[in-house]
Amino acid sequence: MATEAPLTESRPKPNPAGPAIVAIAAWIVPGLGHLLLRRWGRALGFFLTTGGLALAGFALRGEIFSPHSSDSFGALGFVADLGSGIFYFLSRFLETAGPDISRAAGDYGTRLIAASGIVNLLGVIDAFGIARGWRG
Amino acid sequence: MFGAHIHLSHFGAMVIFALLVSIAFACIGRHTAATRVKYALLSFLLFLAIGLGVAWLMYPLSR
> Higher pLDDT residue, A119 or B7?
A119
Q: Count CA atoms closer than 13 A to A93's CA, side-chain side.
A: 5
Measured in degrees and rounded to the nearest 5, phi and psi for residue A92 equal: -70, -25
Q: Distances from the Cα of B26 to the Cαs of A5, A84, A90, A102, A131, in angstroms?
A: 16, 19, 27, 34, 19
Whether the predicted interface score ipTM is above 0.95 = no
Q: Which pLDDT score, from 0 to 100, does residue A133 have?
A: 86
What is this structure's pTM? 0.83
* Chain A residues close to B34, C-beta within 8 Å: 5
> For residues A106 and B35, what is the distance between their CA atoms, to the nearest angstrom?
35
- Residue B16 to residue A112, Cβ atoms within 8 A: yes
Domain map of chain A by residue range?
A: 19-132
Residue A9 contacts B, CB cutoff 8 Å: yes
- Residue type at A77 in one-letter notation: G
Can you give the length of chain B in residues? 63
Contacts with A113 (C-beta within 8 Å, 6 or more apart), sequence order: A53, A54, A57, A58, A62, A63, A64, A80, A81, A84, A91
> For residues A125 and A28, what is the distance between their CA atoms, to the nearest angstrom?
13
Domain map of chain B by residue range?
A: 10-62
* Chain B residues close to A104, C-beta within 8 Å: 10
Tens of pLDDT along chain A (136 residues)?
444 445 455 555 556 668 999 999 999 999 999 999 999 899 999 999 999 999 999 998 888 888 888 888 889 999 999 999 999 999 888 877 777 777 888 889 999 999 999 999 999 999 999 998 887 7
* Chain B residues close to A53, C-beta within 8 Å: 16-17, 20-21
Chain A nearest C-alpha distance from B15 (Å):
11
What's the pLDDT tens digit per position in B12-46?
999 999 999 999 999 998 888 899 999 999 999 99
Contacts with A107 (C-beta within 8 Å, 6 or more apart), sequence order: A62, A101
Contact residues, B window 4-63, toward A, CB-based 8 Å cutoff: 4-8, 10, 13, 16-17, 20-21, 23-24, 26-28, 31-36
